[in-house]
Amino acid sequence: MKKIAFITGATSGFGRAAARKFASEGWSLVLSGRRLERLVELKEELEVPTHIIQLDVRDADAVKRAVAELSSEFSQVTTLINNAGLALAPEGADKVDLADWHTMIDTNCTGLVNVTHALLPKLIEVGAGSTIINVGSIAGQWPYPGSHVYGATKAFVKQFSYNLRCDLLGTGVRVTDLAPGIAETEFTLVRTKGDQSASNNLYQGTTPLSAEDIAEHMFYIATLPNHININRIEVMPTRQAWSPFAIDRD
């Protein structure tokens, strides 16, 4: 069977690395993102059949149209990678702009369910071996200061993935929550609204994960034997671990 991966948020970071990895293994691709020029550039780079869609996953009607308009060459999607997402507002909850909270919820939760709902019939039609990979975060399991709504949205990703597994029992469709730790991408630039020094400081002096590391995990999950489902992978760099509980003192 022809292998086709539908990847959201393909213009940077994990999504772009996943596109390159799956293309290197001969998969056809459907790539979506908001920055059309980056999608065009990526398509020109890849040497496999590639369909690009300028898409804001928060727009449910646009998502439905994009999926409905897939040509026969790209319609039989075998793997969905729900990668589109972002973190904003690293400040404490009492200092955050409410609009940033709404943007994270609308993208990380609403966008994910929009795409999943639109593609479920195609994945179920493929059946055994079809895969949904939802990109979560260690923040969905482990709280930290400034995570507030971002962590809550990634906890939603985890629980949605688990419950989706229950509903898809018997269809052959697999679901995995892939939860990375610290990784050097545009994540911090987006979170700090372009503060390059904040991004540099976060990764300085340590060895974070790379986008390519996560793409390798995605490909591994998508190509396991049909009878194997990994419910959740939480992956941190070796140089990251937990800290003791914080205690307020007089």
pLDDT at position 77: 98
Q: Which of 150, 162, 203, 220 is catalytic?
A: 150
Kindly state the tokens that stand for 220: 């591994």
Below-50 pLDDT ranges, the chain: none
Domain contains 250: no
Domain count of the fold of the chain: 1
Structural domain of 170: 4-235
pLDDT at position 186: 81
Domain contains 136: yes
pLDDT at position 156: 98
Asked if residue 71 lies in contact with residue 51, where contact means CB atoms within 8 angstroms, the answer is yes
List pLDDT tens digits, range 182-196: 999 887 778 888 788
pLDDT at position 182: 95
DSSP 3-state of 187: helix
Domain contains 151: yes
Domain contains 129: yes
Domain contains 242: no
pLDDT at position 146: 93
Which residues neighbour 175 within 8 Å (Cβ) at sequence distance 6 or greater? 131, 132, 134, 161, 162, 164, 165, 168, 229, 231
Domain contains 243: no
pTM to 2 decimal places: 0.95
Could you tell me the CATH number of the domain that includes residue 167?
Answer: 3.40.50.720
Domain contains 157: yes
pLDDT at position 209: 96
Task: Of 61, 66, 85, give the one whose Cα is nearest residue 8.
Answer: 85
For the question of residue 150 being annotated catalytic, the response is: yes
Domain contains 75: yes
